[in-house]
Amino acid sequence: MSTVQPLALADRLSRMAESATIKMASMARELKAQGHDVISLSLGEPDFDTPDHIKEAAKQALDEGYTKYTPVPGLQELREAVCTKLKRDNHIEVSPNQIVVSNGAKQSIANICLALLNPGDEIIILAPYWVSYSEIVKLAEGKAVILGSTIEEDYKVSPKKIEAAITDRTKAILFSSPCNPTGSVYTSDELKAIAEVVQHHENIHIIADEIYEYINFTEEGHSSIGSFPEVADRTITVNGFSKGFAMTGWRLGYMAAPLQIAKACAKIQGQITSGATAFGQKAAAYALLADMKPTHDMRTAFLKRRDMMIELLSEIPGMQVNQPKGAFYIFPNITAFFGRKHAEGTINDANDFCEYLLNKAHVAVVTGEAFGAPNCFRISYASSEAHLREAVKRMKVALSELK
Protein backbone atom coordinates (compact mmCIF):
# COMPACT_ATOMS: atom_id res chain seq x y z
CA MET A 1 0.00 0.00 0.00
CA SER A 2 1.49 3.32 -1.06
CA THR A 3 1.73 6.24 1.30
CA VAL A 4 1.21 9.86 0.33
CA GLN A 5 4.43 11.80 0.57
CA PRO A 6 4.25 15.29 2.12
CA LEU A 7 4.21 18.03 -0.49
CA ALA A 8 7.51 19.90 -0.73
CA LEU A 9 6.29 23.47 -0.31
CA ALA A 10 8.48 26.55 -0.69
CA ASP A 11 10.89 27.29 2.15
CA ARG A 12 9.47 30.80 2.51
CA LEU A 13 6.33 29.33 4.09
CA SER A 14 8.31 27.92 6.99
CA ARG A 15 9.82 31.36 7.58
CA MET A 16 6.42 33.05 7.79
CA ALA A 17 3.97 33.04 10.69
CA GLU A 18 0.21 32.96 10.29
CA SER A 19 -1.49 36.29 11.05
CA ALA A 20 -2.31 36.16 14.75
CA THR A 21 -5.39 38.34 14.36
CA ILE A 22 -6.81 36.11 11.63
CA LYS A 23 -5.88 32.98 13.61
CA MET A 24 -7.69 34.20 16.74
CA ALA A 25 -10.73 35.19 14.71
CA SER A 26 -10.79 31.67 13.25
CA MET A 27 -10.52 30.07 16.70
CA ALA A 28 -13.36 32.27 17.94
CA ARG A 29 -15.56 31.22 15.01
CA GLU A 30 -14.86 27.55 15.71
CA LEU A 31 -15.85 27.97 19.36
CA LYS A 32 -18.97 29.85 18.33
CA ALA A 33 -19.88 27.05 15.91
CA GLN A 34 -19.84 24.68 18.89
CA GLY A 35 -22.64 26.72 20.44
CA HIS A 36 -20.66 29.06 22.72
CA ASP A 37 -21.48 32.76 23.01
CA VAL A 38 -18.14 34.23 21.95
CA ILE A 39 -17.42 37.96 21.96
CA SER A 40 -14.67 38.66 19.44
CA LEU A 41 -12.48 41.70 20.09
CA SER A 42 -9.68 40.40 17.88
CA LEU A 43 -10.13 41.97 14.45
CA GLY A 44 -9.30 45.56 13.52
CA GLU A 45 -12.52 46.18 11.66
CA PRO A 46 -14.93 49.05 12.31
CA ASP A 47 -18.38 47.77 13.26
CA PHE A 48 -19.95 50.59 11.23
CA ASP A 49 -21.28 50.13 7.71
CA THR A 50 -19.80 52.04 4.77
CA PRO A 51 -21.57 55.44 4.62
CA ASP A 52 -24.54 55.51 2.26
CA HIS A 53 -23.19 58.26 0.02
CA ILE A 54 -20.10 56.15 -0.76
CA LYS A 55 -22.19 53.07 -1.52
CA GLU A 56 -24.38 55.16 -3.80
CA ALA A 57 -21.29 56.38 -5.64
CA ALA A 58 -20.27 52.76 -6.25
CA LYS A 59 -23.74 51.89 -7.55
CA GLN A 60 -23.62 54.86 -9.91
CA ALA A 61 -20.19 53.79 -11.13
CA LEU A 62 -21.56 50.33 -11.91
CA ASP A 63 -24.45 51.85 -13.84
CA GLU A 64 -21.96 53.98 -15.77
CA GLY A 65 -20.04 50.89 -16.85
CA TYR A 66 -17.01 50.99 -14.53
CA THR A 67 -16.66 47.22 -14.69
CA LYS A 68 -13.48 46.90 -16.74
CA TYR A 69 -9.76 46.72 -15.99
CA THR A 70 -8.19 49.90 -14.66
CA PRO A 71 -4.64 51.19 -15.10
CA VAL A 72 -2.35 49.28 -12.73
CA PRO A 73 -1.58 52.29 -10.48
CA GLY A 74 -5.24 53.31 -10.34
CA LEU A 75 -7.80 55.48 -12.07
CA GLN A 76 -6.54 58.96 -12.83
CA GLU A 77 -9.56 60.40 -11.02
CA LEU A 78 -8.70 58.60 -7.79
CA ARG A 79 -5.01 59.42 -7.95
CA GLU A 80 -5.88 63.10 -8.41
CA ALA A 81 -8.30 62.91 -5.47
CA VAL A 82 -5.55 61.37 -3.32
CA CYS A 83 -3.22 64.24 -4.25
CA THR A 84 -5.90 66.75 -3.27
CA LYS A 85 -6.49 64.96 0.01
CA LEU A 86 -2.78 64.75 0.86
CA LYS A 87 -2.30 68.47 0.25
CA ARG A 88 -5.47 69.37 2.18
CA ASP A 89 -5.03 67.10 5.21
CA ASN A 90 -1.35 66.23 5.36
CA HIS A 91 0.57 69.13 3.79
CA ILE A 92 2.13 66.67 1.37
CA GLU A 93 2.42 67.76 -2.25
CA VAL A 94 2.79 65.02 -4.86
CA SER A 95 1.65 64.44 -8.42
CA PRO A 96 -0.75 61.69 -9.58
CA ASN A 97 2.11 59.67 -11.09
CA GLN A 98 3.51 59.29 -7.55
CA ILE A 99 0.33 57.55 -6.38
CA VAL A 100 -0.21 53.79 -6.63
CA VAL A 101 -3.63 52.42 -5.69
CA SER A 102 -3.60 48.82 -4.43
CA ASN A 103 -5.90 46.12 -3.11
CA GLY A 104 -5.54 47.41 0.43
CA ALA A 105 -2.77 49.19 2.31
CA LYS A 106 -1.26 45.78 3.09
CA GLN A 107 -0.53 45.26 -0.60
CA SER A 108 1.00 48.74 -0.75
CA ILE A 109 3.44 47.79 2.03
CA ALA A 110 4.24 44.48 0.33
CA ASN A 111 4.89 46.28 -2.98
CA ILE A 112 7.24 48.70 -1.22
CA CYS A 113 9.24 45.95 0.49
CA LEU A 114 9.52 43.95 -2.72
CA ALA A 115 10.68 47.07 -4.54
CA LEU A 116 13.26 48.17 -1.96
CA LEU A 117 14.79 45.04 -0.47
CA ASN A 118 17.53 42.73 -1.64
CA PRO A 119 18.28 39.60 0.43
CA GLY A 120 19.67 40.63 3.81
CA ASP A 121 18.67 44.29 3.59
CA GLU A 122 17.20 45.65 6.80
CA ILE A 123 14.02 47.50 7.66
CA ILE A 124 13.79 49.01 11.12
CA ILE A 125 10.30 48.40 12.54
CA LEU A 126 9.09 50.43 15.50
CA ALA A 127 7.37 48.12 17.97
CA PRO A 128 4.75 47.29 18.96
CA TYR A 129 3.94 46.88 15.28
CA TRP A 130 1.17 45.53 13.08
CA VAL A 131 1.49 41.75 12.78
CA SER A 132 2.11 41.68 9.02
CA TYR A 133 5.07 44.10 8.91
CA SER A 134 7.76 41.62 9.89
CA GLU A 135 6.28 38.80 7.81
CA ILE A 136 6.11 40.96 4.69
CA VAL A 137 9.76 41.91 5.20
CA LYS A 138 10.64 38.20 5.45
CA LEU A 139 8.66 37.45 2.30
CA ALA A 140 10.76 40.08 0.51
CA GLU A 141 13.91 38.32 1.83
CA GLY A 142 14.78 41.23 4.07
CA LYS A 143 15.61 41.37 7.76
CA ALA A 144 13.22 42.99 10.22
CA VAL A 145 15.08 44.91 12.93
CA ILE A 146 12.59 45.32 15.77
CA LEU A 147 12.90 48.28 18.14
CA GLY A 148 10.72 47.75 21.19
CA SER A 149 9.04 50.19 23.54
CA THR A 150 7.09 49.93 26.78
CA ILE A 151 3.80 51.15 28.19
CA GLU A 152 5.82 53.59 30.33
CA GLU A 153 7.12 55.11 27.07
CA ASP A 154 3.56 55.28 25.72
CA TYR A 155 4.72 52.59 23.28
CA LYS A 156 6.81 55.05 21.26
CA VAL A 157 10.43 54.55 20.13
CA SER A 158 12.92 57.35 20.69
CA PRO A 159 14.99 58.91 17.89
CA LYS A 160 18.12 57.96 19.86
CA LYS A 161 17.19 54.27 19.70
CA ILE A 162 16.47 54.56 15.97
CA GLU A 163 19.83 56.20 15.31
CA ALA A 164 21.63 53.44 17.21
CA ALA A 165 19.93 50.72 15.12
CA ILE A 166 20.91 52.10 11.71
CA THR A 167 23.53 50.10 9.81
CA ASP A 168 24.87 50.12 6.28
CA ARG A 169 22.18 47.54 5.41
CA THR A 170 19.27 49.71 6.60
CA LYS A 171 16.93 50.54 3.72
CA ALA A 172 13.88 51.91 5.54
CA ILE A 173 12.09 52.64 8.79
CA LEU A 174 8.51 51.38 9.07
CA PHE A 175 5.86 52.41 11.61
CA SER A 176 2.21 53.34 12.00
CA SER A 177 0.73 56.43 13.65
CA PRO A 178 -1.91 56.19 15.02
CA CYS A 179 -0.53 52.79 15.83
CA ASN A 180 -1.93 49.33 15.47
CA PRO A 181 -1.83 47.67 18.05
CA THR A 182 -1.29 50.33 20.73
CA GLY A 183 -3.32 53.32 19.59
CA SER A 184 -0.31 55.53 20.28
CA VAL A 185 0.11 58.69 18.20
CA TYR A 186 3.45 60.30 17.41
CA THR A 187 3.24 64.06 17.89
CA SER A 188 4.53 66.55 15.33
CA ASP A 189 7.60 67.21 17.50
CA GLU A 190 8.31 63.49 17.88
CA LEU A 191 8.02 62.94 14.13
CA LYS A 192 10.29 65.90 13.43
CA ALA A 193 12.92 64.41 15.74
CA ILE A 194 12.78 61.14 13.79
CA ALA A 195 13.00 63.06 10.52
CA GLU A 196 16.12 64.83 11.78
CA VAL A 197 17.75 61.44 12.35
CA VAL A 198 16.84 60.10 8.92
CA GLN A 199 17.84 63.20 6.97
CA HIS A 200 21.51 62.44 7.66
CA HIS A 201 21.20 58.96 6.08
CA GLU A 202 20.57 59.57 2.39
CA ASN A 203 19.86 55.95 1.46
CA ILE A 204 17.13 55.37 4.05
CA HIS A 205 13.42 55.80 3.33
CA ILE A 206 10.56 56.21 5.79
CA ILE A 207 7.43 54.10 5.33
CA ALA A 208 4.63 55.83 7.24
CA ASP A 209 1.47 53.76 7.64
CA GLU A 210 -1.31 56.28 8.29
CA ILE A 211 -4.35 54.03 7.83
CA TYR A 212 -5.83 55.19 11.19
CA GLU A 213 -5.30 58.87 10.40
CA TYR A 214 -8.92 59.91 10.92
CA ILE A 215 -9.29 58.06 14.24
CA ASN A 216 -7.18 60.49 16.23
CA PHE A 217 -8.18 61.84 19.65
CA THR A 218 -5.38 64.38 20.16
CA GLU A 219 -5.94 68.13 20.27
CA GLU A 220 -3.05 68.57 17.84
CA GLY A 221 -4.60 66.24 15.29
CA HIS A 222 -2.80 64.02 12.83
CA SER A 223 0.74 64.85 11.72
CA SER A 224 2.46 63.28 8.71
CA ILE A 225 6.21 62.78 8.72
CA GLY A 226 6.14 63.22 4.93
CA SER A 227 5.26 66.88 5.44
CA PHE A 228 8.73 67.69 6.80
CA PRO A 229 10.95 69.10 4.03
CA GLU A 230 14.07 67.29 5.25
CA VAL A 231 12.55 63.86 4.47
CA ALA A 232 9.72 64.69 2.05
CA ASP A 233 11.58 63.19 -0.89
CA ARG A 234 12.31 59.95 1.02
CA THR A 235 8.97 59.32 2.71
CA ILE A 236 6.43 56.82 1.44
CA THR A 237 3.01 57.55 2.89
CA VAL A 238 0.63 54.58 3.01
CA ASN A 239 -3.08 54.97 3.62
CA GLY A 240 -6.43 53.55 2.59
CA PHE A 241 -10.17 53.47 3.11
CA SER A 242 -10.79 50.55 5.46
CA LYS A 243 -10.63 52.29 8.84
CA GLY A 244 -11.62 55.92 8.35
CA PHE A 245 -14.42 55.14 5.88
CA ALA A 246 -15.47 51.69 7.18
CA MET A 247 -14.59 50.14 3.81
CA THR A 248 -12.68 47.02 4.91
CA GLY A 249 -14.26 44.68 2.38
CA TRP A 250 -13.63 47.07 -0.49
CA ARG A 251 -9.88 46.28 -0.34
CA LEU A 252 -8.57 49.69 -1.38
CA GLY A 253 -5.35 51.31 -0.26
CA TYR A 254 -2.80 53.66 -1.73
CA MET A 255 0.71 54.96 -1.39
CA ALA A 256 2.37 58.26 -2.21
CA ALA A 257 6.04 57.77 -2.96
CA PRO A 258 9.07 59.18 -4.74
CA LEU A 259 8.49 58.66 -8.45
CA GLN A 260 11.10 55.92 -8.88
CA ILE A 261 9.56 53.87 -6.07
CA ALA A 262 6.02 54.46 -7.30
CA LYS A 263 6.97 53.17 -10.76
CA ALA A 264 8.71 50.14 -9.24
CA CYS A 265 5.65 49.30 -7.12
CA ALA A 266 3.35 49.62 -10.13
CA LYS A 267 5.64 47.25 -12.05
CA ILE A 268 5.43 44.66 -9.26
CA GLN A 269 1.69 45.06 -8.86
CA GLY A 270 1.24 44.66 -12.60
CA GLN A 271 2.56 41.10 -12.36
CA ILE A 272 0.51 40.15 -9.28
CA THR A 273 -2.97 41.70 -9.15
CA SER A 274 -2.95 44.56 -11.67
CA GLY A 275 -5.36 47.38 -10.81
CA ALA A 276 -7.93 47.42 -8.03
CA THR A 277 -11.66 47.20 -8.69
CA ALA A 278 -12.92 49.94 -11.02
CA PHE A 279 -16.23 50.89 -9.41
CA GLY A 280 -14.63 50.77 -5.97
CA GLN A 281 -12.02 53.27 -7.07
CA LYS A 282 -14.72 55.60 -8.37
CA ALA A 283 -16.48 55.47 -5.01
CA ALA A 284 -13.18 55.97 -3.17
CA ALA A 285 -12.40 59.10 -5.20
CA TYR A 286 -15.82 60.44 -4.26
CA ALA A 287 -15.29 59.53 -0.58
CA LEU A 288 -12.09 61.55 -0.27
CA LEU A 289 -13.72 64.75 -1.49
CA ALA A 290 -17.25 64.32 -0.11
CA ASP A 291 -18.90 64.86 3.28
CA MET A 292 -16.62 63.69 6.11
CA LYS A 293 -19.31 63.84 8.81
CA PRO A 294 -19.79 60.03 8.97
CA THR A 295 -16.03 59.64 9.52
CA HIS A 296 -16.05 62.26 12.26
CA ASP A 297 -19.08 60.61 13.87
CA MET A 298 -17.23 57.28 13.94
CA ARG A 299 -14.28 58.96 15.63
CA THR A 300 -16.59 60.41 18.29
CA ALA A 301 -18.12 56.98 18.94
CA PHE A 302 -14.68 55.36 19.21
CA LEU A 303 -13.52 58.02 21.67
CA LYS A 304 -16.53 57.34 23.90
CA ARG A 305 -15.80 53.60 23.80
CA ARG A 306 -12.11 54.16 24.54
CA ASP A 307 -12.89 56.13 27.68
CA MET A 308 -15.40 53.51 28.79
CA MET A 309 -12.94 50.66 28.21
CA ILE A 310 -10.11 52.38 30.08
CA GLU A 311 -12.42 52.88 33.06
CA LEU A 312 -13.66 49.27 33.03
CA LEU A 313 -10.27 47.64 32.45
CA SER A 314 -8.65 49.74 35.18
CA GLU A 315 -11.00 48.06 37.65
CA ILE A 316 -9.33 44.68 37.01
CA PRO A 317 -6.49 44.17 39.54
CA GLY A 318 -3.17 43.64 37.75
CA MET A 319 -4.29 45.12 34.43
CA GLN A 320 -1.92 47.97 33.49
CA VAL A 321 -3.61 50.34 31.03
CA ASN A 322 -2.47 53.59 29.42
CA GLN A 323 -4.53 56.09 27.42
CA PRO A 324 -4.16 55.52 23.67
CA LYS A 325 -4.58 58.65 21.58
CA GLY A 326 -5.93 57.07 18.40
CA ALA A 327 -7.12 54.01 16.44
CA PHE A 328 -9.54 51.67 18.26
CA TYR A 329 -7.24 49.49 20.34
CA ILE A 330 -6.13 49.18 23.95
CA PHE A 331 -2.88 47.35 24.66
CA PRO A 332 -2.63 46.48 28.36
CA ASN A 333 0.50 45.16 30.04
CA ILE A 334 -0.37 41.85 31.75
CA THR A 335 2.89 40.72 33.37
CA ALA A 336 1.09 40.72 36.74
CA PHE A 337 -0.81 37.61 35.60
CA PHE A 338 2.23 35.60 34.52
CA GLY A 339 2.86 32.60 36.75
CA ARG A 340 -0.71 32.43 38.00
CA LYS A 341 -2.57 29.14 37.74
CA HIS A 342 -5.97 27.85 36.69
CA ALA A 343 -7.56 24.39 36.56
CA GLU A 344 -5.98 23.48 33.20
CA GLY A 345 -2.54 24.99 33.67
CA THR A 346 -0.45 28.12 34.21
CA ILE A 347 -0.41 31.56 32.55
CA ASN A 348 3.21 31.63 31.40
CA ASP A 349 2.92 34.32 28.76
CA ALA A 350 0.51 36.44 26.69
CA ASN A 351 -0.33 33.45 24.47
CA ASP A 352 -1.54 31.48 27.49
CA PHE A 353 -3.40 34.54 28.76
CA CYS A 354 -5.36 35.00 25.53
CA GLU A 355 -6.09 31.29 25.21
CA TYR A 356 -7.39 31.26 28.78
CA LEU A 357 -9.72 34.21 28.11
CA LEU A 358 -11.02 32.54 24.96
CA ASN A 359 -11.75 29.19 26.59
CA LYS A 360 -12.82 30.42 30.04
CA ALA A 361 -14.52 33.76 29.33
CA HIS A 362 -15.31 33.20 25.65
CA VAL A 363 -13.68 36.52 24.79
CA ALA A 364 -11.32 36.61 21.81
CA VAL A 365 -8.34 38.98 22.02
CA VAL A 366 -4.86 38.85 20.46
CA THR A 367 -1.52 38.08 22.08
CA GLY A 368 0.99 40.90 22.16
CA GLU A 369 3.72 38.50 21.07
CA ALA A 370 2.41 38.80 17.52
CA PHE A 371 2.98 42.57 17.70
CA GLY A 372 6.50 42.39 19.12
CA ALA A 373 5.34 42.97 22.71
CA PRO A 374 5.12 39.62 24.57
CA ASN A 375 4.03 41.22 27.87
CA CYS A 376 0.82 42.65 26.43
CA PHE A 377 -2.38 41.81 24.59
CA ARG A 378 -4.57 43.73 22.15
CA ILE A 379 -8.23 44.57 22.57
CA SER A 380 -10.16 45.98 19.64
CA TYR A 381 -13.04 48.12 20.85
CA ALA A 382 -14.60 48.28 17.38
CA SER A 383 -17.72 46.67 18.79
CA SER A 384 -20.95 47.76 20.46
CA GLU A 385 -20.86 49.22 23.95
CA ALA A 386 -23.02 46.35 25.17
CA HIS A 387 -20.58 43.75 23.84
CA LEU A 388 -17.62 45.64 25.26
CA ARG A 389 -19.16 45.88 28.73
CA GLU A 390 -20.05 42.20 28.72
CA ALA A 391 -16.57 41.22 27.48
CA VAL A 392 -14.78 43.10 30.26
CA LYS A 393 -17.23 41.70 32.82
CA ARG A 394 -16.38 38.16 31.69
CA MET A 395 -12.66 38.91 31.67
CA LYS A 396 -12.81 40.30 35.20
CA VAL A 397 -14.55 37.18 36.50
CA ALA A 398 -12.20 34.77 34.70
CA LEU A 399 -9.06 36.58 35.83
CA SER A 400 -10.26 36.72 39.43
CA GLU A 401 -10.26 32.91 39.46
CA LEU A 402 -6.53 32.68 38.78
CA LYS A 403 -4.48 31.59 41.77
pLDDT in tens, 176-204: 999 999 999 999 999 999 999 999 999 99
Q: How confident is the model at residue 351 (pLDDT cuts 50, 70, 90)?
A: very high
How far, CA to CA in Å, does 272 sit from each of 20, 72, 133? 25, 10, 19
Mean pLDDT of 212-224: 97
Contact yes or no for 289/81 (Cβ under 8 A):
yes
Q: Given phi > 0 = left and psi -120 to 50 = alpha, else beta, which region is 218?
A: beta
pLDDT on residue 390: 98
Topology of domain 67-289, CATH: Aspartate Aminotransferase; domain 2 (3.40.640)
| Nearest partner of 208 among 221, 195, 193, 189, judged by Cα | 195
**What is the average pLDDT value for the chain, to the nearest integer?**
95
Domain ranges of the chain: 11-49+294-400, 67-289
Q: How far, in Å, CA of 352 to CA of 370, rounded?
A: 13
pLDDT on residue 22: 74
Among 11-25, 125-139, 189-203, 234-248, name the one with the lowest average pLDDT: 11-25
Q: How confident is the model at residue 7 (pLDDT cuts 50, 70, 90)?
A: confident
Contact yes or no for 59/75 (Cβ under 8 A):
no
Topology of domain 11-49+294-400, CATH: Aspartate Aminotransferase, domain 1 (3.90.1150)
- Sequence length of the chain is 403
**Long-range contacts: 246-249, Cβ < 8 Å, 24+?**
246/46, 246/48, 246/49, 246/50, 246/51, 246/294, 246/298, 247/50, 247/54, 247/284, 247/287, 248/45, 248/46
71 preceded by a cis bond (ω within 30 of 0): no
Q: Is the pLDDT of residue 1 over 70?
A: no
Question: Around Cβ 62, how many Cβ atoms within 10 Å?
Answer: 14
Mean pLDDT of 113-124: 97
